[in-house]
Amino acid sequence: MAEESGWAKSESNRKTNPGAFLRGFLREPSQVGSIIPSSRFLEQRIVEAADLSAARRVVELGPGTGGTTRTFLQHLGPDARLLSIELSPHFHELLDEIDDPRFINCQGSAEHLADILAQHGMEKPDVVISGIPFSKMPPAVATRVVQAVNGSLATGGRFVAYQFRRDVAGYTDPIMGAPVGCTLELRNIPPMRVYSWYRKPD
């Protein structure tokens, strides 16, 4: 394996931690979309949809145990920043194990995205990636999350959501328009759709 730079993590350090993921699901099933962490195939689809190699400011909503987070950090440049927002105290504590100067670990709700960005001195993100299950959210909460994402993204920025069900489109389309992309990754348990939207100019 080729040697990687200091800010990149090798594939061998992916640390998806299925046991911790299952425990988190059992503790808070309404906040977790699956009992199994994302596969590397799904992660690659998300990376491509988000165009992470070109991104400088990225937000991840619902990072879980941090398997996807570590993959995203592999694809980001040395000057990029990745802010994760995790509602579960259990998962938030696990994310503290990620040692990367580009990474900011925040416990909170995606509804408060604008306030969290301000607290950490982070400008409008180029990309927001969401793994939180919109199908398990109360409709009012889901709408507020999409409004927060749309209001916080840089103009032309991307919102990428990977979901088992189609509910996310019902909340996002009225605010951001039809998705510019939707792919299905079957090599994941369960199979996941990866949606993409762009933030339109005001």
What count of other Cβ atoms lies within 10 Å of the Cβ of residue 131? 22
Give me the number of domains the chain comprises: 1
Confidence of residue 10 (pLDDT cuts 50, 70, 90): very low
- Stretch 42-66: mean pLDDT: 96
Please indicate, yes or no, if residue 32 is contained in any of the structural domains: no
- Stretch 135-146: mean pLDDT: 96
The residue range of the domain holding 74 is 39-198
Give this prediction's pTM.
0.84
Please indicate, yes or no, if residue 55 is contained in any of the structural domains: yes
Confidence of residue 28 (pLDDT cuts 50, 70, 90): low
Please indicate, yes or no, if residue 1 is contained in any of the structural domains: no
Please indicate, yes or no, if residue 76 is contained in any of the structural domains: yes
The CATH number of residue 156's host domain is 3.40.50.150
Q: How many CA atoms lie within 13 A of 63 on its CB side?
A: 34
- Stretch 131-152: mean pLDDT: 96
